[in-house]
Amino acid sequence: MTQSLPIEGVEAVIFDMDGTLVDSEALTDRALVELLDELGECAEDLDCRQFHGITWKSIDAELKELFPRLAAQDLASAIEARFYHLFATEPPQLIGGASAAFTESSRHFPTAIATGSTSDAVEHLLDRARLRSCCTTYTSCEMYEHSKPDPECFLLTAEKLGVEAGRCLVFEDSVVGLQAAKNAGMRTVAITAAGGPPASDAIALADLTVEDYSRLPIGFFRQIARCPGAERT
């Protein structure tokens, strides 16, 4: 753990999915590089971290700025198809302690997922990780227009939970995700296990930074549930 700042007044917890609950960003990177190679573009110097935490539509737009020759291509659909093929054949592993943390969170707070992935991907995770009974609601990319760092997905999730945005705690692994949560007025925990934000960015954006969930303080969710303003005890 790199920080130990108090987190108070939490009434709901929201988890990002890719890179935060499951180590799937490497599959996104592979899908991108393989597609660009097939289309005759060199991705050798491409920093794929810039595409972490955003929707397929946003990745499409950013790639077309970097590679104007691909302007007529439906990159979003092509990358998505490659990603889910990899996701199905080489299922990503859960981040260390993710299942236990999600379950423990649900014992103290309404607990949700807000992701740039599709509802099919969320449903797959909930079933595979046996987290469905712990998940109050989720927001997937089909449900909102503006990708992170816009706060829309987090604000929509807070609305679904019936909780003020400022009373939500968000777990995120990407810089844009942390920015989105901050833009929504939410507290944040940065997860760095899956190649998350550089330490300087994480410390600047997050109230707490940990490698994975096993690094959270013992009884973390119970402790913040007892803080002033918490909904459940």
- Separation CA 19–CA 53 (nearest Å): 8
* 150 shares a domain with 78: no
Predicted pLDDT of residue 24: 84
Positions of the chain with pLDDT under 70? 1-6, 195-196, 198-199, 228-233
- Minimal CA–CA distance to 196: which of 76, 26, 14? 26
Q: Token digits for 96?
A: 């260390």
**114: CATH:** 3.40.50.1000
Predicted pLDDT of residue 1: 44
- Separation CA 24–CA 107 (nearest Å): 26
Predicted pLDDT of residue 44: 86
Please check whether residue 230 lies inside any domain of the structure: no
- What's the domain count of the chain? 2
In tens, the pLDDT along 139-152 reads 999 999 999 999 99
Domain that holds residue 53: 25-89
Predicted pLDDT of residue 198: 67
Predicted pLDDT of residue 128: 86
* 120 shares a domain with 207: yes
- Separation CA 24–CA 129 (nearest Å): 14
Considering 69, 89, 109, which residue would you say is the last residue of a domain?
89
* 70 shares a domain with 55: yes
Predicted pLDDT of residue 232: 45
Predicted pLDDT of residue 4: 44
Please check whether residue 3 lies inside any domain of the structure: no
Predicted pLDDT of residue 211: 92
Predicted pLDDT of residue 229: 57
* 108 shares a domain with 36: no
What's the pTM value of the predicted model, to 2 decimals? Answer: 0.82
